[in-house]
Amino acid sequence: MAKTLRLLLGDQLNHKHSWFDKTDDEVLYFMAEMRQETDYVTHHIQKVVAFFSAMRNFSQWLQERGHSVIYYQLDHPDNKQDLTQNLVKLFKAHYIERFEYQLPDEYRLDQQLKEFSDSLELDSEAVDTEHFLTSRTDLETFFKGKKTYTMEYFYRDMRKKYDIMMANAKDPEGGKWNFDQSNRKKWKGEPEIPHERGFRKDVSALCKMIEEAGVKTMGSIDEQQFNWPTSREDGLSVLNYFCSNLLKHFGDYQDAMDPDQIYLFHSRLSFAMNSKLLHPLEVIEKVIDHWRANKDDIDISQVEGFVRQILGWREYMRGIYWMKMPGYRRSNKLDNQNELPDFYWTAETKMNCMHHAIKQSLDHAYAHHIQRLMITGNYALLTQTHPDEVDAWYLGIYIDALEWVEITNTRGMSQFADGGIVATKPYVSSGSYINKMSNYCSSCKYSVSKKTGDDACPFNSLYWNFLFEKREHFKNNQRMNMMMSMLDKKDPDELEQLVKRAQEIIKNPQKF
Ligand SMILES: Cc1cc2nc3c(=O)[nH]c(=O)nc-3n(C[C@H](O)[C@H](O)[C@H](O)COP(=O)(O)OP(=O)(O)OC[C@H]3O[C@@H](n4cnc5c(N)ncnc54)[C@H](O)[C@@H]3O)c2cc1C
Ligand code: SF4
């Protein structure tokens, strides 16, 4: 008879966890689809489907290996829809003497489980998820006593620590730590982009259950052809496909955007990694092994760019999260107060870049990094939107959105709400950057080269208005000196017109 109950959350699907090394008759695993998790924010329907599918597959995998699992579907009659209520009931029903859980990656769940286990009379223990390459506190220790938290230094340390792409103990392979400069090409129809490694899964029964339960979701789904990896085999297959077909152009076109190309050369691995189906080190090692075997075909810059995202940014964001929560959730250094326009939920806007970035997010629960940062994030920041509004949208809409990596990217990197912890200056731009990196502007109703007038690109006036209105916040930021001195040199009449047009856009976003 089971004496220990082990909880597995929906993003703790780590097949390699030492818990599963051997079966034990005294251990019972518990997994549950719950309203607590479907309702804390409005999620994209594909995100809910992806998590529930992946959890069901994982539970099946455990059972096939002889582990005992209680799995509550959302419509299970015993499901209380609340984590701790479910646990209390199971403890009683199964005479449980010990409770174990893996450390959650989200603060709200961490708090909930900590308070719950403190209140218990039975023994409890929280163990590591054995997924990340750093502990919750490693980043804080690394930057102890420093005024700034430069990602690059942390990344170099990680390269050395894990001996990844190193020529020797001190020097990077290829003579440089960072090949970012060569990763800035616009995509002009070539090279051809291979179709993504797709899946054609029928998830209609799952969708029906979610709908019948009355869960509020956003976005759309092709129920007969669900396209995301939801098992370890799927995840490995996406990884192999990326290595063989996409890696050789990954770095070059990492920042490129195109109205008809959703994924370009991006990996689509974030969900598989964030749900822990894939381990970050196995992804990095597989990519490096593939590169070593194909060095004639694949340049080091493509590989380093990819490794930096996972070994550097992904671990860094998690470290910042645990260093700065819970205060981080309330940060709003620029004192932005506006609402997000309705078109973030409909894509009905005349701005071509915004229309496409939002439409593909609603249709596929995906946009790549530069679309998130320099299109939707840029617009939200330039229109001075409250970070709570921005966070709720990003946390809901993307397949990979979990708070530890969403909030640090959104509030930190994209909205500068932390005042410069993650980004040393705000990621804002006028239309010219968007035009430089994308193929959106040529078919837009607005003219990217115009700053004022009815057909002027809205990003142009919004950009100057933002600098003008937020001037005080940037007066001590050296990285903003060039932008601020350009603002100072602006002709006052032109600036007045720019500010007027920007105010119109902010007041009436649906018109644009
Ligand atoms: C405003 C904003 C919000 C974001 N929200 C999320 C989020 O909720 N969840 C999430 O996983 N990523 C988020 N990102 C980071 C990044 O956009 C996604 O990880 C990436 O687009 C996922 O697609 P991909 O797997 O094809 O990535 P690729 O471009 O192929 O990159 C490979 C992997 O690197 C990692 N990575 C890349 N950039 C980052 C980054 N900035 N932070 C952390 N990991 C990174 C991801 O694991 C990704 O799968 C956000 C970025 C911005 C600007
Ligand atoms: S012209 Fe402006 S609004 Fe239109 S696509 Fe280009 S940047 Fe976007």
pLDDT of residue 2: 74
Mean pLDDT of the residues in the chain: 97
Is the pLDDT at 409 greater than 90, yes or no? Answer: yes
Is the pLDDT at 424 greater than 80, yes or no? Answer: yes
Q: What value does the mean pLDDT take over residues 450-466?
A: 97
- Rounded percentage of the chain residues whose pLDDT exceeds 90: 98
Give the whole-angstrom CA distance, residue 377 versus residue 339. 13
Is the pLDDT at 182 greater than 80, yes or no? Answer: no
- As given in the structure block, the two tokens for residue 418 are 């932390």
Helix, strand and coil content of the chain, in percent to the nearest 5, comes to 50, 10, 40
In sign, the C-alpha dihedral spanning 279, 268, 287, 157 is negative
Using pLDDT thresholds of 50, 70 and 90, give the confidence band for residue 181.
confident
* Rounded alpha-carbon distances, angstroms, from residue 482 to 48, 215, 383, 425, 485: 44, 49, 21, 12, 5
In a 13 Å sphere around the CA of 424, the CA atoms on its Cβ side amount to 12
Give the whole-angstrom CA distance, residue 419 versus residue 234. 39
Give the whole-angstrom CA distance, residue 249 versus residue 496. 44
Q: What value does the mean pLDDT take over residues 468-496?
A: 94
Protein residues with CB under 6 Å of any ligand 2 atom: 351-353, 431, 434-435, 440-441, 444, 446, 448, 457-459
Is the pLDDT at 184 greater than 90, yes or no? Answer: no
Is the pLDDT at 414 greater than 80, yes or no? Answer: yes
pLDDT of residue 146: 94
pLDDT of residue 474: 94
Is the pLDDT at 180 greater than 90, yes or no? Answer: no
Give the whole-angstrom CA distance, residue 33 versus residue 38. 8
Give the whole-angstrom CA distance, residue 215 versus residue 74. 10
Burial 33-53 (b: 16+ CB within 10 A, else e): bbebbbeebbbbbbbbbbbbb
pLDDT of residue 183: 67
Choose the residue to mutate in 241, 269, 270, 390 for probing ligand 1, maximizing ligand atoms within 8 Å of C-beta.
Answer: 270
Give the whole-angstrom CA distance, residue 505 versus residue 383. 8
pLDDT digits (tens, 9 = 90+) for 102-118: 999 999 999 999 999 99
pLDDT of residue 402: 98
CA 508 / ligand 2 centre spacing (Å) = 17
pLDDT digits (tens, 9 = 90+) for 70-82: 999 999 999 999 9
pTM as predicted: 0.97
pLDDT of residue 64: 98
CA 321 / ligand 1 centre spacing (Å) = 15
pLDDT digits (tens, 9 = 90+) for 273-292: 999 999 999 999 999 999 99
8 Å CB contact between 506 and 512: no
CA 170 / ligand 1 centre spacing (Å) = 28
CA 458 / ligand 2 centre spacing (Å) = 7
pLDDT digits (tens, 9 = 90+) for 244-261: 999 999 999 999 999 999
Residue 127: strand, helix, or coil: strand
Give the whole-angstrom CA distance, residue 74 versus residue 54. 14
pLDDT of residue 70: 98
The residue written with tokens 């009379």 in the block is: 121
pLDDT of residue 330: 97
Q: What DSSP line would sit under 216-268, residue for residue?
A: -EES---TTSB-S--SHHHHHHHHHHIIIIIHHHHTTTTT-BBTTBSSTT---
pLDDT digits (tens, 9 = 90+) for 124-172: 999 999 999 999 999 999 999 999 999 999 999 999 999 999 999 999 9
At CA 167, angle to CA 161 and CA 168, rounded to 5?
60
Give the whole-angstrom CA distance, residue 294 versus residue 296. 6
CA 439 / ligand 1 centre spacing (Å) = 22
H-helix or E-strand spanning residue 291: helix 280-293
> Whose alpha carbon is nearest atom 8 of ligand 2?
353
Closest ligand 1 atom number to CA of residue 269 = 25
Q: Exposed, middle or buried by CB within 10 Å (0-12, 13-18, 19+), for 167?
A: exposed
8 Å CB contact between 353 and 347: no
Q: Name which of 5-19, 211-225, 277-291, 476-490 the model is least confident about.
A: 476-490
Q: Which ligand is nearest to the CA of 450?
A: 2
Is the pLDDT at 512 greater than 90, yes or no? Answer: yes
